[in-house]
Structure 1
Amino acid sequence: MQATSMNMSQMMGAGPFITMPIILATVGGPQAMFGWIVGALLAILDGLVWSELGAAMPGEGGSYIYLREAFKYRTGKLMPFLFTWSTIIATPMIMSTGAIGMANYLVYFFPSLSPLGIKLSAVAITLITIAILYRKIGSIAKITVVLWAGMILTVCLILIGGFSHFNPSMAFDFPKDAFAPGQFFIGLGAGMLISIYDYLGYYTVCYLGGEVKNPGRTIPRAVILSVILVSLIDLSMNISVIGVLPWQEGMKSHNIMTEFMQRIWGEPGAVIITILILWTCFASLFTGLLGASRLPYQAAADGLFFKPFAKLHKKHNFPHYSLIIMGCIMIICCFFDLGQIINALMAVTIVVQFMGQIIALSILRRRKPDMKRPFKQWLYPIPSILAFIGWAFVFYSSGWQAIRLSIVWTLLGLIVYVIWARKNNEWPFRKVEYEVEKVSIK
Structure 2
Amino acid sequence: MIDSTSSSSSEPSNPSRLDTDSALPRRLTLLQGTALNMIDMVGIGPFVVLPLVIKTLGGPQFMWAWVLGALVSVVDAFVWAELGAAFPKAGGSYNFLKISYGEQRWGRLLAFLYVWQTMIQAPLVMASGAIGFSQYMSYLIPLDEWQRKAVSGGVVLVIIILLYRKIDSIGKIGLVMWGAVLLTLGWIIVGGLSNARIPLTETLSSMGSVSGGLIAAGLGQASVKTIYCYLGYYNVCHLGGEIQKPTRNIPTSMFISIAGIAGLYLLMNLSVVSVVPWQEAQNSDFIVSTFVETLYGPAAAKLATVLVLLVAFSSLFAVLLGYSRVPYAAAADGQFFPIFARLHPTRQFPYISLLFLGGVGFVFSLLFRLGDVITAILAMRIVVQFVGQAVGLLLLHRRRAIREFPFRMPLYPLPVLLAITVWLFIFFSTGLTFMLSGLTVIGLGIVAFLVSAGVRQQWPFGK
1:306 match: 337
Match of 1:146 in 2: 176
Aligned partner of 1:391 in structure 2 is 423
Q: For the structure 1 residues 259 and 90, does the alpha-carbon distance in structure 2 shift closer, same or farther, using more than 3 Å as the test?
A: same
Measure the CA separation in 2 of the matches of 1:169 and 1:421.
62
Asked if structure 1 preserves the Cα contact closer than 8 Å seen for 2:60 and 2:207, the reply is no
Structure 1 residues 400 and 116 mapped into 2: Cα distance closer, same or farther (>3 Å)?
farther
The answer as to 2:449 corresponding to 1:412 is no
Matched-pair contact (CA < 8 Å) for 1:296–1:322: yes
Counterpart for residue 316 of structure 2: 285
Q: CA deviation at 1:237?
A: 0.3
Match of 1:438 in 2: none
Q: In the superposition, relative to structure 1, how do residues 421 and 244 fare at CA in structure 2: closer, same or farther (>3 Å)? A: same
Question: What displacement does 1:221 show?
Answer: 4.7
SS across alignment from 2:140: coil
Match of 2:360 among 325, 329, 336: 329
2:177 maps to amino acid? L
Q: Which 10-residue stretch deviates more, 369-378 or 42-51?
A: 369-378
Task: Report the equivalent of 1:199.
Answer: 230
TM-score by length of 1: 0.88
Query: Could you say if the C-alpha distance between residues 123 and 10 of structure 1 is closer, same or farther in structure 2, counting changes exceeding 3 Å?
Result: closer
Given that 2:90 and 2:329 are in contact with CA atoms closer than 8 Å, whether structure 1 keeps it comes out as no
Letter in 2 for 1:382: L
Report 1:43-442 matches (<5 A): 43-72=73-102, 74-111=105-142, 113-133=143-163, 139-169=169-199, 172=203, 179-206=210-237, 207-208=239-240, 211=243, 213=245, 215=247, 219-312=250-343, 318-334=349-365, 335-369=367-401, 372-431=404-463
Matched, 1:8 2:73: no
Q: Conserved in 2, the CA contact under 8 Å of 1:75 and 1:428?
A: no
CA distance in 1, matches of 2:348, 2:240: 22
Deviation of 1:8 (Å): 3.1
CA drift at 1:60: 2.7
Q: Go from structure 1 to structure 2 and tell me whether the alpha carbon gap of 1:61 and 1:268 turns closer, same or farther (over 3 Å shift).
A: same
CA gap of 1:315–1:28, structure 2 versus 1, over 3 A, is same
The one-letter code of the counterpart of 1:353 is Q
Q: How many Å separate the matches in 2 of 1:76 and 1:405?
A: 23
Flag structure 1 segments of 5+ consecutive residues without an equivalent: 432-442
Tell me by how many angstroms 1:280 deviates: 1.7
The root-mean-square deviation of aligned C-alpha atoms, in Å, is 2.8
Quote the offset at 1:350 in angstroms. Answer: 1.0
Can you give the 5+ residue segments of structure 2 that lack an aligned partner in the other structure? 1-29
Pairwise CA distance, 1:259: 1.1
Tell me which amino acid in the other structure corresponds to 2:427: F
State the 1:9 CA deviation.
4.1
SS in 2 for 1:172: helix
Quick check: 1:58–1:208 contact (8 Å CA) kept in 2?
yes
Aligned length: 429
Partner amino acid for 2:50?
M
CA distance in 2, matches of 1:104, 1:214: 38
Aligned-pair CA distance for 1:138? 5.7
Structure 1 contact 104–118 (Cα < 8 Å) conserved: yes
Take 1:330 and 1:102, find their aligned partners in 2: how far apart are those partners?
Answer: 14
CA distance in 2, matches of 1:346, 1:183: 24
Task: String of CA shifts for 1:336-390, please: whole Å, max 9, x gaps.
Answer: 2222111100111111111011111011111223651222221111111111000
Post-superposition offset of 1:412: 0.7
* Native 8 Å contact 2:40 2:314 kept in 1: no
Structure 1 stretch displaced more, 51-60 or 309-318? 309-318
- Once the two structures are overlaid, the 10-residue window that deviates more, 41-50 or 198-207, is 198-207
Q: Distance in 2 between matches of 1:234 and 1:58?
A: 29
Contact kept in structure 1, 2:331 and 2:338, CA below 8 Å: yes
